[in-house]
Amino acid sequence: MDRGDSESQERLKRIHDRLKKSGFSALNDREIIELLVEACPLRQWKKPLGEYITKFENLRDFLSASPQELEESGFCPDCVMVELLREIPARVLKESIVGQPVVKSAEDVFKYLYFSMRDIDEEVLKVIYLNNQNQIIEITDLAEGRASSSNVDIRRVMESAIKYGAASLVLVHNHPSGNPKPSKSDRNLTRDMVFAGRIMNIKILDHIIIGAAGHFSFAGEGLVEEYEMDFLDFRIRGTAEAKLKRERDMSTAL
């Protein structure tokens, strides 16, 4: 055993002892990371354990690190431990809200969405499917990349809603920039989804944008209702124009 490994084992023992004596709250982020690293295979073990994690300032940085960042820090590129540590809490949070009324579990829904989406490096569109009782049926990822009406297959979203027997949907996507302010394409996508939903008799309850700085709700800002009214205006206008055309055609025929 070399000196680096010996130092690491001694430090880990001290952390383990303090954890047993005083509990999880007695450890700082760096010490928690060291315990997690203990379960991750390293490509090498020739220096104190703490030196492998110097680039990670806190626990969130470590858990959100990309495979490339982990490999550069000395971790085996095939290690799945960090991915499991990221995904297990998200799975538990998801299981706690499926089957629950979305109104009563709104805070839990946001916790799941924020936890599972805040550190993703690319845009991901999630769709929450709800039944007639506003209970969550399922949550799926339907698109990756820029969430816009040109990139999101609206027909696929509607087909999935029919597959799950959904009465309504909540759209959610993240902004890797951290700023949840909606872009023009975000607004266009929401409008197009509301229009498609009205045609298919599937209500779009909300479109939520997740960012590190917080979130933006189209329903909360009154925009979903505005797009609903736009659809009704178009429909009324189209009906009136069709009626006028029929009357003109009849007059011409006479």
CA distance 22 to 93: 27
Q: Domain 105-237: which topology?
A: Cytidine Deaminase; domain 2 (3.40.140)
Terminal-residue alpha carbon distance, the chain: 103
* pLDDT at residue 243, as a whole number: 54
Nearest Cα residue to 51 out of 93, 7, 89:
7
* pLDDT at residue 160, as a whole number: 93
* pLDDT at residue 98, as a whole number: 75
pLDDT digits (tens, 9 = 90+) for 171-205: 999 998 888 899 999 999 999 999 999 999 999 99
CB 127 within 8 A of CB 169: yes
Percent of the chain with pLDDT over 70: 72
Binning pLDDT at 50, 70 and 90, where does residue 71 land? confident
CA distance 204 to 167: 9
Q: Mean pLDDT lowest for which of 8-17, 123-132, 219-228?
A: 8-17
* Long-range pairs for 48-57: beta carbons < 8 A, 24 or more residues apart: 48/4, 48/7, 48/8, 48/11, 49/7, 49/8, 49/11, 49/12, 50/8, 50/11, 51/4, 57/29
| Residue 49 pLDDT > 70 | no
Highest mean pLDDT (candidates 15-19, 110-114, 190-194): 190-194
CB 52 within 8 A of CB 64: no
CB 29 within 8 A of CB 63: no
Q: What integer is the mean pLDDT of 18-26?
A: 81
* pLDDT at residue 1, as a whole number: 37
| Residue 17 pLDDT > 90 | no
| Residue 127 bridge partners (DSSP) | 140, 171
| Residue 31 pLDDT > 60 | yes
Binning pLDDT at 50, 70 and 90, where does residue 121 land? confident
* pLDDT at residue 106, as a whole number: 59
Number of CB atoms found within 10 A of residue 54's CB: 9
CB 173 within 8 A of CB 125: yes
| Residue 42 pLDDT > 70 | no
* pLDDT at residue 150, as a whole number: 46
* DSSP structure string for the chain: --HHHHHHHHHHHHHHHHHHHH-GGGS-HHHHHHHHHHTS-BS---S-GGGGGTT--SHHHHHT--HHHHHHTTB-TT--HHHHHHHHHHHHHHHHHTTSBTTTTHHHHHHHHHHHHTT-SS-EEEEEEE-TT-BEEEEEEEEESS-STTTS-HHHHHHHHHHTT-SEEEEEEE-TTS-----HHHHHHHHHHHHHHHHHT-EEEEEEEEETTEEEETTTTTHHHHHHHHHHHHHHHHHHHHHHHHHHHHHHH-
For CATH 3.40.140.10, the residue range(s) in the chain are 105-237
Q: pLDDT: is 174 or 62 the higher one?
A: 174
| Residue 225 pLDDT > 50 | yes
Q: What integer is the mean pLDDT of 88-113?
A: 71
* pLDDT at residue 191, as a whole number: 94
